[in-house]
């Protein structure tokens, strides 16, 4: 059975004191849980401080992004090695906010995935369609293209790569995909992995859902057979809400 994976993406929120307080709160509520893999992804300036709060817990640390280069004249960028040096085990790559607001292409995402894996970071690769694409019945076509472009030349190791389906129309909008909608896309993604890699890889690979996840909808999403975890945005900024989502994931797969 695939171990559920719940990740809190704190995005560009909090200050140093708030990040430390949130980390302590999450550790107190979920830090000893072994049956759900957990990670939090603070803003870059707070990585080390949050790491120090997580050190005695089972909660892992992740970066929200990394550069595709290991070092050099890339002002404002953070290399995979730097993220590792701050205590990160994971990095999010290809989040829709970076694709749509900052113009990241599948080709750039692909370079980042390769660089992160080569450095020893594990990757949460985000994919998802816009509302216009869904309304035009292009969801599967868009997902296929993003997977093909982002994973071109990547050897998928289910221990080092997680896919996160985040429909753009559900991120930060309060609108969440229905459990049936999420399951349908997750099933399609798993079938794509079978055709490009193998049934064994597809069976082990975890696929998260992200997009307005909260304690009220976490259970209905996690009971879907192909939904293996949740990538949580706003609700991860409250320790009680994050803990409730982790508890829902734990109960759904008990």
Query: Would you state the pLDDT for residue 58?
Result: 95
Residue-averaged pLDDT of the chain: 97
Residue 229 has pLDDT above 90, yes or no: yes
pLDDT at site 176: 80
**Residue 170 pLDDT:** 86
Confidence of residue 69 (pLDDT cuts 50, 70, 90): very high
Residue of 221, 232, 136, 233 lying closest to 184 (CA atoms): 221
Residue 165: strand pairing partners = 127, 209
Q: What is the pLDDT of residue 48?
A: 98
From start to end of the chain, where are the E strands?
5-9, 37-41, 60-63, 90-93, 122-127, 161-165, 207-210, 229-232
The pLDDT assigned to 21 comes to 98
Domains defined along the chain, listed by start:
33-66+74-223+245-252 (3.20.20.70)
Q: With 90 as the cut, is the pLDDT of residue 70 above it? A: yes
At residue 200, the 3 state secondary structure works out as helix
1-18 pLDDT per residue, tens = 899 999 999 999 999 999
Residues annotated catalytic, as ranges: 95, 166
Angle made by CA atoms 142, 8, 74, in degrees to the nearest 5: 70
Q: What's residue 253's pLDDT?
A: 85
Inform me whether the pLDDT recorded for 173 exceeds 90: no
Q: What is the predicted pLDDT for the residue at 163?
A: 98
In this structure, what are the phi and psi dihedrals at residue 61, rounded to the nearest 5 degrees? -110, 140
pLDDT value at residue 78: 98
Distance CA 194, CA 188 (A): 10
**For 84-139, how does the pLDDT look when each residue is reduced to its tens digit (9 = 90+)?**
999 999 999 999 999 999 999 999 999 999 999 999 999 999 999 999 999 999 99
Residue 46 has pLDDT above 90, yes or no: yes
């Amino acid at each position: 059975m695939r171990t559920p994976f719940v990740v809190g993406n704190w995005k560009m929120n909090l200050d140093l004191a708030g990040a430390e307080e949130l980390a302590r709160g999450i550790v107190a509520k979920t830090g000893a849980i072994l049956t759900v893999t957990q990670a939090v992804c603070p803003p870059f300036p707070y990585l080390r401080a949050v790491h120090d709060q997580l050190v005695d817990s089972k909660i892992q640390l992740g970066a929200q992004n990394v550069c595709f280069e290991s070092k050099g004249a890339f002002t404002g960028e953070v290399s995979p090695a730097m993220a590792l040096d701050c205590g990160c085990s994971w990095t999010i790559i290809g989040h829709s906010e970076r694709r749509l607001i900052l113009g990241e292409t599948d080709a750039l995402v692909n370079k980042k995935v390769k660089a992160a894996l080569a450095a020893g970071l594990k990757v949460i690769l985000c994919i998802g369609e816009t509302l216009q694409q869904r309304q035009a019945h292009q969801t599967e076509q868009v997902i296929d293209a993003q997977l093909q472009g982002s994973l071109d030349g990547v050897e998928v190791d289910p221990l080092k790569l997680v896919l996160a389906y985040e429909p753009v129309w559900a991120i930060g909008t309060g609108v969440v995909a229905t459990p049936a909608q999420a399951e349908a896309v997750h099933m399609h993604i798993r079938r794509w992995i079978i055709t490009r890699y193998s049934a064994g890889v597809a069976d082990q690979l975890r696929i998260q859902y992200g997009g307005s996840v909260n304690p009220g909808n976490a259970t209905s999403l996690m009971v879907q057979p192909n939904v293996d975890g949740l990538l949580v945005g706003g609700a991860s900024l409250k320790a009680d809400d994050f803990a409730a989502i982790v508890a829902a994931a734990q109960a759904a797969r008990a």
